[in-house]
């Protein structure tokens, strides 16, 4: 078994693959929804990885990084077997991979072929999703691709990943200056407490209120009498500085224990207990507002 993990576009990360599994994975790269592979060592090291991208039957773009953007190198190779050998040698810690390809310094954030206006629009979309703090880098990149209509200039997954990579590093630098505990940390603590009180407590759940309300029962644990959540649009509003709207209610089959006003009181109490400012007048038909709020949610770990 190789002491690496390999992330692809088509599925969950593969941990400690065999040499045959890794070679088979790399040979298939280039198909629909299966354009890249990113290998990282176990145990991992910050900004140390080997990756490849391929479109259809074209050449493999192979890149490796050894500690930062200034240690980022790129090569091209048309031979899938040769690419597999590079990955195997890198995974085993032998030096042959360093001589196997014509490595050249590369700008990991460049997007050749993408006009400035489209890049600016893609960056804005990526920043929006990154600020929420819930999406992985790959999810943000896919969101960037999906944001453009078919009749607009398309952004490929590879271009989106390069855009996201730069903004991701900028966000990591920003969050290094944040306090140990942030407002989103407090929200998470409150939701953890509410889950222990018999509520289905879901953060950044579903795209909107209608979808969340139709889906929340599917997340219900045994014994839950009600629910509390905020959805994607609520998260985005909080990340934009508008405070956080929190929604709640009871399950009809839970009787008096599912009284929406009582659940609202439980939610406001949990939020206040962790030091968050809460605005709610007790009306069970109205959402609970948490404001002012500084939405400094740390990025999820991993790529």
Return the closest-CA partner of residue 166 out of 130, 134, 195: 130
The mean per-residue pLDDT over the stretch 207-229 comes to 96
- pLDDT at residue 84 in the model: 94
**Residue 167 lies in domain:** 116-175
The verdict on 148 and 84 lying in the same domain is: no
| Dihedral Cα 259, 262, 263, 264, nearest 10 deg | 120
> Is the backbone peptide bond immediately before 292 cis, with ω within 30 degrees of 0?
yes
| pLDDT exceeds cutoff 60 at 18 | yes
Among 48, 74, 105, the domain-final residue is 105
How many angstroms separate the Cα of 94 from the Cα of each of 18, 42, 80, 117, 145?
16, 15, 19, 43, 37
Q: Has residue 139 been placed in a domain?
A: yes
| Dihedral Cα 231, 289, 285, 234, nearest 10 deg | -20
Please name the helix (run of DSSP H) or strand (run of DSSP E) that holds residue 226, with its range, or none. strand 226-229
Kindly indicate the confidence band of residue 12, based on its pLDDT and cuts at 50, 70 and 90: confident
* Count of domains forming the chain: 3
Q: Has residue 213 been placed in a domain?
A: yes
Greater model confidence, 203 or 47 = 203
| pLDDT exceeds cutoff 90 at 184 | yes
How far apart, in whole angstroms, are the C-alpha atoms of residue 303 and residue 221?
30
Return the closest-CA partner of residue 44 out of 6, 4, 90: 4
Average pLDDT, the chain: 92
Greater model confidence, 279 or 109 = 279
The mean per-residue pLDDT over the stretch 17-44 comes to 91
Q: Has residue 303 been placed in a domain?
A: no
- pLDDT at residue 257 in the model: 59
Q: How many CA atoms lie within 13 A of 1 on its CB side?
A: 10
Question: Coil, strand, or helix at residue 82?
Answer: helix
| pLDDT exceeds cutoff 60 at 302 | no
- pLDDT at residue 287 in the model: 97
């Amino acid at each position: 078994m190789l002491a690496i993990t390999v992330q692809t576009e088509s599925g969950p990360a593969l941990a400690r693959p065999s040499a045959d599994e890794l070679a088979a994975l790399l040979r298939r790269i280039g198909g629909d929804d299966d354009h890249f592979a990113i290998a990282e060592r176990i145990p991992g090291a910050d900004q140390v990885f080997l990756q490849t991208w391929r479109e259809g039957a074209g050449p493999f773009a192979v890149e490796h990084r050894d500690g930062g953007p200034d240690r980022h190198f790129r090569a091209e190779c048309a031979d899938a077997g040769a690419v597999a050998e590079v990955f195997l040698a890198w995974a085993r810690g032998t030096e042959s991979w360093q001589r196997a390809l014509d490595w050249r310094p590369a700008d990991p954030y460049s997007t050749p072929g993408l006009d400035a206006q489209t890049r600016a629009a893609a960056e804005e979309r990526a920043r929006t999703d990154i600020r929420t703090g819930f999406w992985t880098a790959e999810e943000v990149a896919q969101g960037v691709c999906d944001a453009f209509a078919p009749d607009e200039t398309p952004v490929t997954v590879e271009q989106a990943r390069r855009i996201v990579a730069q903004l991701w590093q900028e966000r990591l630098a920003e969050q290094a200056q944040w306090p140990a505990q942030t407002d989103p940390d407090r929200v998470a603590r409150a939701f953890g407490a509410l889950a222990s009180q018999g509520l289905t407590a879901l953060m950044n759940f579903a795209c909107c209120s209608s979808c969340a309300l139709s889906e929340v029962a599917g997340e219900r644990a045994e014994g839950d009498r009600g629910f509390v959540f905020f959805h994607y649009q609520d998260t985005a509003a909080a990340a934009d500085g508008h405070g956080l709207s929190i929604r709640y209610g009871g399950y009809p089959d839970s009787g008096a224990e599912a009284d929406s006003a009582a659940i609202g009181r439980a939610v406001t109490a949990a939020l206040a207990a962790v030091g968050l400012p809460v605005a709610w007048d007790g009306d069970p038909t109205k959402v609970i507002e948490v404001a002012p709020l500084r939405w400094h949610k740390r990025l999820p770990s991993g790529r």
